[in-house]
């Protein structure tokens, strides 16, 4: 038990730049407390005391704001950041090195007793704040789920799922958007796409527009260099920069 707590503390210090000391993590990080209480609840459940296990889990929820059913399977080095409002259902499985932010629900869509009703997170999965992952499917290794997304089907390993309902990023438009967002110092991860937030829609349209402009400028520059063998120039002989090329393309 104490070795696992030490491992949990080391995990928090590795992934959270706000964590200053091990003592601070031990005393003031509810995710660490929730995981320790869950291990106690699970031990009580294994002893056949199901009501007692639920009582321990309930006390953990009261103390931390994090509800983990005693039947859930939680791996090693799991980081529940902030944690308030996190709900992890009975048949959920959380793999090693996963990160779960506040307001996340690993919930079920079936009422069949004994069935696999809750999701399985494979190793290294990151679930953004407020996301809902609902059903007995798998979120693949090192996949990411954007904040406030609602995931209702399998997410492939390494993929990013965003939106309501969530879709998998991966087409050419999404790839250009991600690349342009990174260049602009803005990560589209954890921003819900496809929702009815007009600001989010406008922001992604702007990123798409800039990405398309860059693509057209690159094409024009390459074509002019092939024709002239040199960097394209304006009428005054000065090199054309990206802004002047953009105005010419338009």
Contacts of 83 (CB under 8 A, 6+ apart): 30, 31, 34, 64, 65, 66, 100, 102
Q: Are 109 and 216 contained in the same domain?
A: no
Domain count, the chain: 2
Strands 144-145 and 126-127: parallel
Q: CA nearest 103: which of 83, 78, 73?
A: 83
Domain final residue pick, 168, 184, 199: 168
Q: Are 133 and 244 contained in the same domain?
A: no
Task: List the domain range (segments joined by +) for residue 232.
Answer: 208-249
pTM above 0.85, yes or no: no
Is residue 191 assigned to a domain? no
Is residue 184 assigned to a domain? no
Backbone dihedral angles phi then psi of residue 145, each to the nearest 5 degrees: -120, 120
Q: Are 25 and 123 contained in the same domain?
A: yes
Q: 113: domain CATH number?
A: 2.160.10.10
Q: CA nearest 224: which of 207, 249, 199?
A: 249
Q: Are 127 and 231 contained in the same domain?
A: no
Q: What is the pLDDT along the chain (250 residues), one digit of tens a residue?
A: 788 899 999 999 988 888 899 999 999 999 999 999 999 999 999 999 999 999 999 999 999 999 999 999 999 999 999 989 999 999 999 999 999 999 999 999 877 887 899 999 999 999 999 999 999 999 999 999 999 999 999 999 989 999 888 888 765 556 566 666 656 554 444 444 444 455 666 777 888 888 888 888 988 888 888 887 555 555 555 555 555 555 555 5
Domain final residue pick, 120, 142, 168: 168
Is residue 77 assigned to a domain? yes
**pLDDT score of 209:** 86
Q: Are 12 and 136 contained in the same domain?
A: yes
Is residue 192 assigned to a domain? no
**pLDDT score of 103:** 94
Is residue 200 assigned to a domain? no
Q: Are 71 and 155 contained in the same domain?
A: yes
Is residue 159 assigned to a domain? yes
């Amino acid at each position: 038990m104490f070795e696992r707590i030490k491992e949990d503390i080391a995990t928090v210090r590795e992934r959270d730049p706000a964590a200053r000391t091990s003592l601070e993590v031990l005393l003031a990080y509810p995710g660490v407390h929730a995981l320790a209480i869950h291990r106690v609840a699970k031990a009580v459940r294994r002893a056949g005391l199901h009501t007692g296990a639920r009582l321990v889990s309930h006390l953990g929820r009261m103390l931390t704001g994090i509800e983990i059913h005693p039947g859930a399977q939680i791996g090693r080095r799991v980081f529940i950041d902030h944690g308030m409002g996190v709900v992890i259902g009975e048949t959920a499985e959380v793999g090693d090195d996963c990160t779960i932010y506040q307001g996340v629900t690993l919930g079920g869509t079936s009422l069949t007793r004994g069935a696999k009703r809750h999701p399985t997170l494979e190793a290294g999965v990151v679930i953004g704040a407020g996301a809902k992952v609902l059903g007995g499917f798998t979120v693949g290794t090192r996949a990411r789920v954007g904040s406030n997304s609602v995931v209702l089907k399998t997410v492939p390993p390494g993929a990013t799922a965003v939106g309501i309902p969530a879709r998998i990023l991966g087409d050419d438009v999404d790839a250009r958007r991600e690349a342009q967002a990174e260049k602009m110092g803005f990560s589209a991860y954890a921003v819900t796409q496809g929702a009815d937030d007009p600001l989010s829609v406008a922001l992604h349209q702007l990123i798409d527009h800039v990405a398309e402009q860059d693509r057209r400028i690159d094409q024009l520059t390459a074509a002019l260099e092939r024709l002239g063998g040199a960097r394209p120039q304006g009428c005054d002989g000065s090199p054309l920069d990206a802004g002047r090329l953009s105005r010419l393309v338009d």
